Amino acid sequence: MRKTGKAETIGNGLRVSPWKHRSYKWRVSYFTGHGSNRKRKQKGFQTKKEALAWAQKQDEKLKAKGAGDHEITKEEHRAVMAFREIMDSLPDAITKVTLGELVEDYRKKADVRRKSMTISELIDHYITSLERRKLSKSHRYSTELRLRRFEDDHGEWMACDISAEVAGDWLHDLDLAALTINHYRTALVQMFNHGKKINAIEFNPIEAVDKVEEDSKEVGILSPKEAAGLLSHCADEILPAIAIGLFAGLRRSEISRLSWSHIDFKQKHIEVKASNTKSAARRLVPMRDNLRQWLAQYRQHRGPVMPTEMIYRSRLDEARKAAKIEDWPHNALRHSFASYNLAAFENAPALAGEMGHGSTKMIFEHYRALVTPAKGKAFWGIVPVSGGKVLSIKSA
């Protein structure tokens, strides 16, 4: 018996492991049938003791059956004859292998199979490793969401049985945008790399699956007039969140977890906690004058900056319609922030730091020369007028 953490592997392909199931806490994974009819099955138990007892009895039955089948079978004899025919048909120039070499090669693959686990088990193991590495909750959530979708179709498959063809077909059958499909591919690549690390698989099948070609469209942004109109028509419930997205460039997910206690009006910055960021790195985002003016009238000592997702979406749709913004670019607030920031302040390294990027590569690829300096100054001149939300654009 070989122990691997909490799971235990017994001879003849039997594996006892924890199970995140509504009715059972442990499961035994095992094979039934032979050849093309060989299938992987699972049986649930409440305790590990019960699971081990059942698995050991099953192992004894399989061993007893195997002892009676020690003579070479007709099927095995046919396989030997087929091997000889194949070798005889090969050109003399080709180096031929012996049957013993083929068996030894398969024995190595069988060793990998014995150490392998089901996709469900590998996903559980990988998600646990992300938690131990203390990666951000948002990253863990999005990664697990994508992997669980793969689990729905292939959870009972052995990880070592997933081929590039199987994974590629699954990815390309997703009815999603190219960028989203590539996000799913990335999650699978990382999970299977983890599988290689713990010797559950021999190679990563996803590496042979090409990324989906993404549209090379320019980043979409709001014009200064559209940004001003949006703020002018925002309900009080969402205006702080919209202003922070436009003038501090925080991600939507970061704003949703932002508290008023993270906004320091005295030091003039917004603290983005490591646990709330995509990169799991804390950062301080400066608040420029116009953003402080927008937030001042809503200032609180604690509590969430953004309302629930349902309220936010509803109020945003109302504001967009009132402002007559027909086309809403993807990630419009954050992309607008980056474009106008680079145009007005011309400091790519500082902008990369504010946005939580590790380098300026993405800044130059997506935002350079997108808007003119004059429009950049106009954007940062959008401020509220005392007594209402009628806007003043101070610069050109």
Cα gap 321→115, rounded to integer Å: 57
Domain regions of the chain by residue span: 1-51, 119-208, 224-393
Cα gap 215→177, rounded to integer Å: 10
Task: Read off the pLDDT of residues 182-235 as tens digits, 9 standing for 90 and up.
Answer: 999 999 999 999 999 998 888 899 999 998 876 555 678 899 999 999 999 999
Residue 115 clears pLDDT 80, i.e. is over it: no
233 Cβ partners below 8 Å, 6+ apart?
318, 319, 322, 323, 389
Task: Read off the pLDDT of residues 143-174 as tens digits, 9 standing for 90 and up.
Answer: 999 999 999 889 988 888 888 888 988 998 88
To the nearest 10°, report the CA torsion of 114, 115, 120, 123. Answer: -170
What pLDDT score does 67 carry?
Answer: 47
83 Cβ partners below 8 Å, 6+ apart?
99, 102
What pLDDT score does 97 carry?
Answer: 81
Is 17 within 8 Å of 121 (Cβ atoms)?
yes
Residue 389 clears pLDDT 70, i.e. is over it: no
* Assigned token pair, 170: 């699954």
Residue 313 clears pLDDT 80, i.e. is over it: yes
Threshold 0.75, pTM exceeds:
no
Question: Mean pLDDT, to the nearest integer, of 43-53?
Answer: 92
Q: Which superfamily, per CATH, for 224-393?
A: Intergrase catalytic core (1.10.443.10)
Task: Read off the pLDDT of residues 225-264 as tens digits, 9 standing for 90 and up.
Answer: 999 999 999 999 999 999 999 999 998 888 988 999 999 9
* Assigned token pair, 224: 């200064």
Task: Domain 119-208: give its CATH code.
Answer: 1.10.150.130
